[in-house]
Amino acid sequence: MRFTLPSLFLTFLLILATTVSAIQRLTPEEIEAKARQADESIWHLGKDHLEDRIKTGTWLVFYGTTWCKFCKRLTPRWLRVQNEFLNQNLHQSGFMITKVDCTGSNEGWCASKWKVDAFPTVNLYHNGQFIEEYLGDHEVQPILTYIKDKIKTYHK
């Protein structure tokens, strides 16, 4: 059997991708544990403070639940976004980020008051007005890029 260099290279890439994918795969329990741990350090706002706080400035709000598997995956990333947000001094621009727990009795409140119909939902508000839902990739860099773009738009 004869192999060409391109076919060997493609085989190598396939094996590498499979190995990396297997290494990065977490069990549901590991994902849940990482989400719980991240939630302890994430800035949260609830029923008593959200509406009042977002009246001024620009806010990116992550609405999530503890039961949603996609929220569990986003939560540790959101903490990394928050940490980079601080490290890059983006909070000094008047732009803020927060998370709202829509679990349990808060689910109805999130749906009726904030029009959240799926989880996770990430919405942008400026001076209390809904601007848009963030529909980009739920990875750290795309979210930070979005934040920086909105800082340029709303905080020149």
Cα torsion at 109, 113, 119, 123 (round to 10°)? Answer: -140
CA separation for the pair 45, 52 (Å, rounded): 10
| Residue of 71, 68, 86, 72 lying closest to 144 (CA atoms) | 86
- Flag whether 23 is in a domain: no
Containing domain of residue 87, as a range? 33-154
Give a yes or no: residue 124 inside a domain.
Answer: yes
Here the contacts of 31-37 (C-beta below 8 Å, separation 24 or greater) are: 31/69, 31/72, 31/73, 32/72, 34/72, 34/75, 34/76, 35/66, 35/71, 35/72, 35/73, 35/75, 35/76, 37/76
**Mean pLDDT, consecutive 10-residue segments, the chain of 156 residues?**
62 63 75 94 96 97 97 98 97 95 95 96 98 98 98 90
Q: What is the pLDDT of residue 13?
A: 62
Query: Is the Cβ–Cβ distance between 119 and 54 less than 8 Å?
Result: no
Residue 84 domain-assigned? yes
How many structural domains compose the chain?
1
d(CA 27, CA 89): 34
Q: What is the pLDDT of residue 155?
A: 85
E runs forming strands in 2-153: 58-64, 95-101, 121-126, 129-133
CATH label of the domain that carries residue 80: 3.40.30.10
Q: What is the pTM of this model?
A: 0.83
